[in-house]
Structure 1
Amino acid sequence: MRTADDFLITMRGIDDDTVGRAASASSLTLGGILRHLTPAERVWTHIMVCGDGSTPDGMWDMEQHERPKDTTAAELIEAYRSATAATDAAVSEESDLARRVRLPEVPWAPDEVQHITVRGVLIRLLRETAHHSGHADIVRESIDGANTTAQLG
Structure 2
Amino acid sequence: MSVSNQVLTGERADLLATLRRHRGFLRQTVHGLTDEQAAARSTVSELCLGGLIKHVAGTEQRWMRFAEGGAEAMQREPIDWAAQFRMVDGETLAGLLAEFDRVAEATDALIATLDLDAAHPLPQAPWFEAGASWTVRRVLLHLIAETAQHAGHADIIRESIDGAKTMG
Q: Deviations over 1:25-64 (max 9, x none)?
A: 22311011112111101011101111x3212302463321
> In structure 2, what is the equivalent of residue 127 of structure 1?
145
> In structure 2, what is the equivalent of residue 99 of structure 1?
118
* 1:30 maps onto 2:49 in alignment: yes
* TM-score for both structures, normalised by structure 2: 0.79
Task: Answer yes or no: is the 8 Å Cα contact 1:20–1:67 preserved in 2.
Answer: yes
> In structure 2, what is the equivalent of residue 66 of structure 1?
86
Runs of 4+ in 1 over 4 A off after TM superposition: none
Task: Answer yes or no: is the 8 Å Cα contact 1:45–1:87 preserved in 2.
Answer: yes
Identify unmatched segments of 5+ residues in structure 1: none
> In structure 2, what is the equivalent of residue 114 of structure 1?
132
Counting aligned pairs with the same residue, the percent is: 32
- Residue range with higher mean Cα deviation, 78-87 or 63-72: 63-72
Q: Equivalent residue of 1:123, what SS? A: helix
Q: Cα RMSD between the aligned structures?
A: 2.1
1:102/1:128 Cα in 2 relative to 1: closer, same or farther (>3 Å)?
Answer: same
Task: Answer yes or no: is the 8 Å Cα contact 2:25–2:167 preserved in 1.
Answer: no
Identify unmatched segments of 5+ residues in structure 2: 1-16
Q: Equivalent residue of 2:134, what SS? A: strand
Query: Residue 109 of structure 1: CA displacement?
Result: 7.0
Q: Deviations over 1:78-105 (max 9, x none)?
A: 11111111111111112x3122122222
> In structure 1, what is the equivalent of residue 109 of structure 2?
89
Task: Answer yes or no: is the 8 Å Cα contact 1:48–1:101 preserved in 2.
Answer: yes
* TM-score for both structures, normalised by structure 1: 0.86
1:90/1:59 Cα in 2 relative to 1: closer, same or farther (>3 Å)?
Answer: farther
* 1:15 maps onto 2:44 in alignment: no
